[in-house]
Amino acid sequence: MMRTEPNSFRLSSSLEDAQHGKRFVINGGSFAGIRTAHGILKQIPTARVTLINPSSQFFYNIASPRILAKSSAFQPEQYLINIPNLLARHDSTLFRFVEGLATAIDEQHRVVKLANLDKIPYDYLIIASGSTTQPTEGLDSDMAPWKARQDGQTLECMMESQKNIAAAEYIVTCDAGPVGVKFAGEIADVLRKDGKNRSVTLISGTTTILPRVDERVGRHAMAILTRQGVKVVRESKVVLAHRDISSSKGTINLQEGTTMSSDCFISTTGLLPNNKFLPSHFLDEQGWTKVDMYLRAVSAVATNENLSRVYAIGNIVAYQPRTVRALNEQLPVILATLEADLHAMSPGEKLSLTYPPSPITSIMIPIEDSAGTGLIFGMVPWELVIWLIKGRNFLIPYIHRFLSW
């Protein structure tokens, strides 16, 4: 049976549809989905919005490196927020939340199908399903929920991961991007303070760490990790990781033929699109949703009226970077597009807002409670600045502000 929160409404008849406005269905309850729901309800007064998500909890995954490394740093209620409560200020007759997993889209009948066999009709569909990682699902490494799990078991898996990490003597993590660097630094901070004979190793596939960011930031991060006692293995990649069931010890095979042992192996490698419910003709070769400059979903098959009512926003779109800042730039565009399409405006004449991805000019990377690096308007700031802005609490007190519109 489909589960809904208290501020939900029953599916309306066609007469009620005409009286109350068009149905906007958003699939995905993270930053993109929640903020788009706020925006539609604010800017289109007659809109009726349905938000679908596998869990009723929003997961603030930005803080996941510290949450995993330091189980006492935050309480679950600080990083898992009830989604209906986040949208409770809106008219309950115009918004509802559906807890369920989307499994397919029926484009001909404009219906989203759920795992429990329920069907959610739409006039306009916004894909905001975001991304996941292999470790989030317990694949290719020990469990590490860097993202919200599609089965709704984020908290349970987080607690299991925290327990395993806390008990491990030799911890290995791979991929020296921002998440990997943050996590290695947080773990090193714990190891240094507990005074036990434990170690953390970070494996980088390149000659540097943070290879996609300004090289000055990578050098600064390397200096901090070295100071913390993190062993960094560069120009190497993990080709296989497996665990001996009898001893619970892990073995990691590297591409150059060497092996490493670990009690806990956590991968932080790239993002994967949450796209299993999407028709393949909406996807590029990597599985991300193709969109035009107005954030309308682009299909590989002939365009028709049904397909023109599908849109995408956030991590799921085939644009980089996939950041909260990029979402800030996408939101005004998709809202303007929805309003234009709702009123049958001509895209060429009426729409002036488009989404051209912007380069990364600012990034903040906390590496422990009191240290970090980053780039702010082209300059590498003092570690104290990173701590003051983000490192103290990963901006958790500002979650509600980030999710508003």
What CATH number is attached to the domain comprising 123? 3.50.50.60
Residue 346's pLDDT is what?
54
Residue 30 inside a domain? The answer is yes
Residue 306's pLDDT is what?
47
Residues 212 and 125 in one domain: no
Total domains, the chain: 2
Residue 339 inside a domain? The answer is yes
Give per-residue pLDDT as tens, 360-377: 778 999 998 889 999 998
Residues 9 and 102 in one domain: yes
Residue 214's pLDDT is what?
92
Give per-residue pLDDT as tens, 94-124: 999 999 999 999 999 999 999 999 999 999 9
Residue 268's pLDDT is what?
94
Residues 125 and 219 in one domain: no
Containing structural domain, residue 287: 3-132+272-321+324-350
Residues 124 and 184 in one domain: no
Residue 152 inside a domain? The answer is no
Give per-residue pLDDT as tens, 275-332: 999 999 999 999 999 999 999 999 877 555 445 799 999 999 998 888 888 999 999 9
Residue 361 inside a domain? The answer is no
* Distance of alpha carbon 48 from alpha carbon 126, whole angstroms: 13
Give per-residue pLDDT as tens, 247-273: 778 999 999 999 999 999 999 987 999
Residue 343's pLDDT is what?
84
Residue 201 inside a domain? The answer is yes
247-252, long-range: CB within 8 Å, 24+ apart, which pairs?
250/142, 250/172, 252/172
Which of the listed residues 270, 291, 312 is the one where a domain comes to its end? Answer: 270
Residue 128 inside a domain? The answer is yes
Residues 256 and 339 in one domain: no
Average pLDDT along the chain:
90
Residues 182 and 108 in one domain: no
Residue 285 inside a domain? The answer is yes
Residues 219 and 279 in one domain: no
Residue 145 inside a domain? The answer is no
Q: Select, from the ranges 64-68, 193-197, 269-273, 323-327, the one with the highest average predicted confidence (pLDDT).
A: 64-68
Residues 252 and 314 in one domain: no
Residues 126 and 19 in one domain: yes
Residues 117 and 95 in one domain: yes
Which of the listed residues 270, 302, 334 is the one where a domain comes to its end? Answer: 270
Nearest CA to 74 among 86, 84, 95, 59? 59
Residues 261 and 280 in one domain: no
* pLDDT interval class at 345 (50, 70, 90): low
Residues 106 and 205 in one domain: no
Weakest mean pLDDT among 53-67, 218-232, 331-345? 331-345
Give per-residue pLDDT as tens, 121-173: 999 999 999 999 999 988 889 999 999 999 999 999 999 999 999 999 999 99
